[in-house]
Structure 1
Amino acid sequence: MHAHSLPSVSSAPTPTHCPYCALQCGMTLTPDASAEGVAVTGRAEFPVNRGALCGKGQSAAAVLSSGARLTTPLIRSAAGDLEPATWEAALDAIAGGLARTRDDHGADACAIFGGGGLTNEKAYALGKFARTVLRTSQIDYNGRFCMSSAAAAGQKAFGLDRGLPFPLEDIPRTGCVILVGSNLAETMPPALRYLTELKERGGKLIVIDPRRTRTADQADLHLAPRPGTDLALALGMLHLVVAEGRVDEEYVRDRTRGWETARAAVMAHWPEYVERVTGVPLPQLREAVRLFTEPEHAMVLTARGPEQQSKGTDTVGAWINLALATGRPGRPLSGYGCLTGQGNGQGGREHGQKADQLPGYRKLTDPAARAHVAGVWGVDPDSLPGPGRSAYELLDALGGDIRSLLLMGSNPVVSAPRAAHVEERLRSLDFLAVADVVLSETAELADVVLPVMQWAEETGTTTSLEGRVLLRRRALAPPPGVRSDLDVLRDLTTRLAPELEKGFPTDPEEVFDELRRASAGGPADYAGISYPRLARDEALHWPCPGTDHPGTPRLFLDRFETQDGRARFVPVAHRPAAEEPDTEYPLYLTTGRVVAQYQSGAQTRRVAELNKAAPGPFVELHPRLAARLGIAEGDAVTVTSRRGAAEAPARITATIRPDTVFMPFHWPGRGRANTLTNPALDPTSRMPEFKVCAVRLARATAG
């Protein structure tokens, strides 16, 4: 077996990055005598957060404490309990479970589910492991639930998807920002300063959200459409742009294709119809168009609100069409961007853990891409499987076609749509193995659980929402008994395909250097990025094809990444959500986050100060709805959809539409919001419709 010795850790302060959202804020870890072993401070010199950290970032070291996490492998006993085990026994059990499934049912009966928090090195190695060791097509990751609709729309329009094609520092210098379905004050607090600075410089902010959030409070204009009608809203605004003669005809002629077809589709969405569909008054629509088109520079930024819909790709496409018709993308201080959510949601899909992609953002169906990557991996291109199922489809197939699952860095029991069904599917597997930092709700169901290192205990790269590639540095040793995901994949390869063992090094820099070669020449080209360069320069944005290349902070200034260099208008039309309110389920449910918790809460719910700030789920509803149903502040209420019921205290506020209720999704158990959500999928991105479903509401009955 292999030694797992680790180099000594410096006692000096270590510059690194936050483990949470895609801002990847700069922070410094300084050794101290606390239980965590380090103190966290913001790094003023890092341009994204300039020293600011949210509560999650400030308390990030709390999860490093051995009391908050897994420190020994666990194997389920014959009696049904998870009991401590040796690493060798746990790895043997995982390899045996996967091998039995492969031998009895074929390679595609084994699946892998990854996470948007894994470093680039881990995401790359996980995709390589699936396709060369297991030879399964069944791999996807929870980033599919993050920004896949924006990615699909960006590919269609621009030929390339990168969350922000410009750095955050451009936002305060533009003239107007339309922020669609994002609550930065709660989800990325250090980024709110960019909107504050925008307003201080005289720029205008339009926020589109069915709730008047803390972010919407900052807006010059807040539009509150019915959930699921963002597509109609964008089309109505573009209709007014055309009708009022505000199209940038020269830009459309010189830099785009497809305008006439898209224009014809838009003209069917006349403003009075859009007002009726969205509930947004026509004067507000006209004012939004005026604020957006009058400045020389303007931006549209989308987030999960418009993206997590069964028509998310078309919805984002409509906002891109608005930006294109007014001449914004590919011009300085203007454009369209997506606010990626997860820490490495961008890099996580660029390098191979998404069902249809190879490293470098290459398409798995492209023979040239397969040949290039297979050459780097030293395998026959024909041996690489084709595309597999998307995230929800993969989870839905557990216990059927898929009999064994290896899961790394995700907690679908809480985070997946129709979560009770997903939990049932996980329980039906022949074999489930989970590698994680903590014993999450999903890990509690596993046959084998592996305790793995986390952000401050290992070196690796992430890619922020700006396409900025960053080096997280190892600052302290992990607790005894904890190993890296890279160790796990190498040791499983030793057991399952020993001839491939050399292709799974455990040194992150060695893995990254191979990733560079695999990505070379691809859309997300990292070939010119190296650990030494990243140690010197935190301003390297992909594509960066050569070691003397400065990186590309701003895309599309000369041409778009299409064959002819022109952006594409994609004609779209409004259609309802997959599930609209009716007499039985008369209300809309929309879901989202709160500032003190993160994603499924698996880590943040173990931090005392965060739990004090956000101790549990709640149901937000309007006073008129509360009065009609006889619900008072703090009453336990039951929210019921066609998929199940959840219960949480009422929070009554006039900042939400009277026809809509809101629940945060960070908690398991009776308050699990994703018990309710609809897994209806966007036909292109395969994004589930987290943001819209029909529910009914009632005071909870005792007992």
Structure 2
Amino acid sequence: MSDFLKHFRTEQLEKSMEKVMTTQCPYCSVQCSMELTEERIVTRKRYKAKPNKQDRTSEGRMCMKGANAHQHVMNGERITSPLLKIDGEFCQIPWELAIEYIVEQFKFIQKEDGNDALGVYGGGSLTNEEAYLLGKFARVALKTKHIDYNGRFCMSAAAAAGNAAFGMDRGLTNSLSEIPDAKCIILAGTNIADCQPTIVPYFRKAKKNGAFITVIDPRETGTSKLADLHLQVKPGTDALVANAMLKVLFDEGYTNDRFISERTNGFHEVKGDIQGLDLQELADLSGVKVEDITLAAREYGKAETGFLFTARGVEQHSHGYENVRQYLNLVLATGKIGKYACGYGAITGQGNGQGGREHGQKADQLPGYRSIENEEHRKYIASVWGVNEAELPRKGVSAYELIEKVDKEEITAMFVMGSNPVVSNPNAIFVEKALKKLKFLVVVDMFVSETARMADLILPTSSYLEDEGTMTNLEGRVVLRKAERTLPGDVKHDWQIMSEIASSLGFQEAFSYTSAEDIFNELRLASRGGIADYYGITYNRLKEEGIFWPCPDKEHPGTSRIFDQTFAHPDGKALFYGLRKPKLVEEPSEQFPLLLTTGRIMEHYLSGTQTRRSPELNKRAEEPLLEIHPETAKKYRINNGELFQLRSRRGSMIIRSSYSEKIRRDTIFAPFHWGDSQSINRVTNPVLDPFCKMPEFKVCSVSITPLIDQKGGSFDETMDQTTSKRKQPS
């Protein structure tokens, strides 16, 4: 090697720098921990993510989203200064002016329209500290009752059902580590292979150990490939399948009479309902064969150990609460809960979907899973916050109802943090029209999302690599996410933004935090004695492997399995639920002959605000594709890979077809990670579950029409009307 090359190589090595950041994936509820290596070679940076082999939940696994999560953080579209809209254009302004402007507008609007004219809209990906602080910010600093969050669209049906059946809601009643020893597993309305891929090995181990796995889903998916039995249910009829299974369990003697007698209430009424069921009728209505329902029930009933899991496919309905309650009847009837390798799990979707609903973002909640309408709960939280209990607002309304109040001009200003409601709400065209009526809209985000685009003021926030805090994963395990990357530009953390606004409103003492840990210590106290008791959890304890709640004191190890001795109702017993036969809100008709169901794909997350700004992820899925059976497509003259218009009673959107024989012929499927003309929520139904206010995302009646028939133009001309240029798939 020449002296020149040696010198050049030495100089390169000297200029090379390597930094390792310990963090967690910001996306799904598994919250996989990892190390991100930043390597600087001369002027170029290179990043590589490596999973943490010591992670007790992921067991050292990482999916494609986690491996590429850092890409959106480094994206050039990221906002690094406050942006004020002036004459339709966003202009950078200093923080001092931004805070002053917010305070001025909020004070003016509340003087004119009342305290509750301010709406606060949060997110299920906020840290526990920031979710907790958002509730306090709304109720103490803004003095408004109108706060809710996008987790309403994720876990509300399962949460309401769990609270009613068991007396408390924690996503999983057991740790994931018990799954491999279960002898039967039912996965209803969940596609973990795409949505939580790093936990799939738990189920593979169970199958290897002899478990019988039943998957209930209108589509064949990566998850159904794991199954011994796939019940390809008609969308919206999950409760009928559960009822039919319960009838088989009862008629064939698989119920656990001792458990029912000693640990439950309400079975006598359910027993009467069972006797009136017609198994063949339920099978016909749900589109599942009687023999398949019988097999699924028998395998679950005879197994010594077993788990039943639900997710959005069961829950995102206007009768989602009832769907879950019917499945919980199966758990209670067989006594498969509160024991090793026996339990129930609502598989959380969002990164902090569990913690996000525990500490005060929901309209009816206070920290620790307390009720805002309970006088003792109100007094306790008021004492922690140092305010008069009488000054705390009462409960407000759910996330979609917030938008309806905006449309009625009862809410005239809104503060949005960690969410993109223009894309994530049902009936999205209405949502966009409603938000245009606001006098003032503030959006806290990393990017100019579809909602931020409508804002009067956008505030730049930190990413997962920069924002330290705790998250509560799908198991109920509280974990500490470190943040070792320096904040770029003038970016601030969510908690700093709220604290500065609150201080300028005159609440400096109540919001005088200097770190996320300060907030967590207050959260610990606020949750003490509540259902979700975090009091015994500290940052120092979390440096190891995370701790399951409830954890009432610092010596407590945490509670990995709940309900082993008693349920959380005052009498210690769980509660059965009377059988129901819910009907579809929208049946297929001549005008709208097909059933649409929606969901996620592996490459993207929620509204896609972050993942669509990850080049690697976006390259894998540049646009939404509508899954349609070839015979159905032929009937409606839809060619494979062709753009067409999908229409419902609420509106229309544009999407490309993708033939699949893995879906029912009466059903089509579309993902919800895109906005504008390709937002599937432009057509979904906003009808709300009366128990939990979950919208009817999972099924609505639609029509499909080739674009070329409507426009009379060429295929290329049609392509220009969309935001995508993806080639026709083979």
Q: Residue 352 of structure 2 contacts residue 473 of structure 2 at CA under 8 Å; is this kept in 1?
A: yes
Which of the residues 596, 608, 623 maps onto 1:589?
A: 596
**Uncovered stretches (5+) of structure 2, i.e. residues with no partner:** 1-16, 714-730
CA drift at 1:502: 3.9
For 2:256 and 2:521, the matched residues in 1 are separated by 44
**Uncovered stretches (5+) of structure 1, i.e. residues with no partner:** 1-9
For 1:543 and 1:437, the matched residues in 2 are separated by 33
Q: Residue 592 of structure 2 contacts residue 702 of structure 2 at CA under 8 Å; is this kept in 1?
A: yes
Matches within 5 A, 1:103-502: 103-399=111-407, 400-496=409-505, 498-502=506-510
CA, structure 1 residues 364+327, in 2 after alignment: closer, same or farther (shift >3 Å)? same
Aligned residues: 691
- 1:94-151 Cα offsets, whole Å, 9 max, x none, are 1122111111111100010000000000011110010011110000000000010000
For 1:42 and 1:605, the matched residues in 2 are separated by 22
Equivalent in the alignment of 1:633: 640
Q: Residue 490 of structure 1 contacts residue 501 of structure 1 at CA under 8 Å; is this kept in 2?
A: no
For 1:96 and 1:38, the matched residues in 2 are separated by 43
Equivalent in the alignment of 1:609: 616
Quick one: percent identity of the two aligned structures? Answer: 43
- 1:378-420 Cα offsets, whole Å, 9 max, x none, are 0001100000010110122114100000000100111110011
CA drift at 1:433: 0.1
Q: Residue 22 of structure 2 contacts residue 483 of structure 2 at CA under 8 Å; is this kept in 1?
A: no
Q: Residue 115 of structure 1 contacts residue 141 of structure 1 at CA under 8 Å; is this kept in 2?
A: yes
For 1:431 and 1:267, the matched residues in 2 are separated by 57
The amino acid across from 2:692 in the alignment is S
CA, structure 1 residues 36+374, in 2 after alignment: closer, same or farther (shift >3 Å)? farther
Equivalent in the alignment of 1:686: 693
- 1:444-482 Cα offsets, whole Å, 9 max, x none, are 100000001111102100100111001000111021211
For 2:393 and 2:510, the matched residues in 1 are separated by 21
Which of the residues 7, 19, 23 maps onto 2:26?
A: 19
For 1:231 and 1:553, the matched residues in 2 are separated by 29
Q: Secondary structure at the match of 2:129?
A: helix
Which of the residues 57, 61, 66 maps onto 2:70?
A: 61
For 1:572 and 1:36, the matched residues in 2 are separated by 59
For 1:43 and 1:63, the matched residues in 2 are separated by 21
Q: Residue 75 of structure 2 contacts residue 613 of structure 2 at CA under 8 Å; is this kept in 1?
A: no
Task: Tell me, yes or no, if structure 1 residue 524 matches structure 2 residue 532.
Answer: yes
For 2:258 and 2:276, the matched residues in 1 are separated by 24
Structure 1 length-normalised TM: 0.97
Equivalent in the alignment of 2:10: none
Structure 2 length-normalised TM: 0.93
Which of the residues 20, 31, 35 maps onto 2:38?
A: 31
CA, structure 1 residues 659+691, in 2 after alignment: closer, same or farther (shift >3 Å)? same
Q: Secondary structure at the match of 1:300?
A: strand
Q: Residue 461 of structure 1 contacts residue 469 of structure 1 at CA under 8 Å; is this kept in 2?
A: yes
For 1:572 and 1:688, the matched residues in 2 are separated by 21
Matches within 5 A, 1:504-515: 504-515=512-523
For 1:71 and 1:134, the matched residues in 2 are separated by 26
The amino acid across from 1:91 in the alignment is I
CA, structure 1 residues 36+64, in 2 after alignment: closer, same or farther (shift >3 Å)? farther
Equivalent in the alignment of 2:550: 543
CA drift at 1:36: 7.0
For 1:424 and 1:193, the matched residues in 2 are separated by 45
The amino acid across from 1:153 in the alignment is A
The amino acid across from 2:112 in the alignment is D
Q: Secondary structure at the match of 1:655?
A: coil
Q: Residue 125 of structure 1 contacts residue 504 of structure 1 at CA under 8 Å; is this kept in 2?
A: no
Q: Residue 464 of structure 1 contacts residue 470 of structure 1 at CA under 8 Å; is this kept in 2?
A: yes
The amino acid across from 2:470 in the alignment is T
Matches within 5 A, 1:86-105: 86-105=94-113
For 1:119 and 1:248, the matched residues in 2 are separated by 41
Q: Secondary structure at the match of 1:301?
A: strand
For 1:66 and 1:90, the matched residues in 2 are separated by 24
Q: Which has the larger radius of gyration?
A: 2
- 1:615-664 Cα offsets, whole Å, 9 max, x none, are 10111111111111122211112111000011111111110000001110
Q: Residue 73 of structure 1 contacts residue 449 of structure 1 at CA under 8 Å; is this kept in 2?
A: yes
Q: Secondary structure at the match of 1:140?
A: strand
For 1:659 and 1:159, the matched residues in 2 are separated by 38
For 1:549 and 1:47, the matched residues in 2 are separated by 18
CA drift at 1:68: 3.8
Q: Residue 22 of structure 1 contacts residue 341 of structure 1 at CA under 8 Å; is this kept in 2?
A: yes
For 1:333 and 1:224, the matched residues in 2 are separated by 26
Q: Residue 471 of structure 1 contacts residue 531 of structure 1 at CA under 8 Å; is this kept in 2?
A: yes
Q: Secondary structure at the match of 2:465?
A: helix
For 2:120 and 2:46, the matched residues in 1 are separated by 33
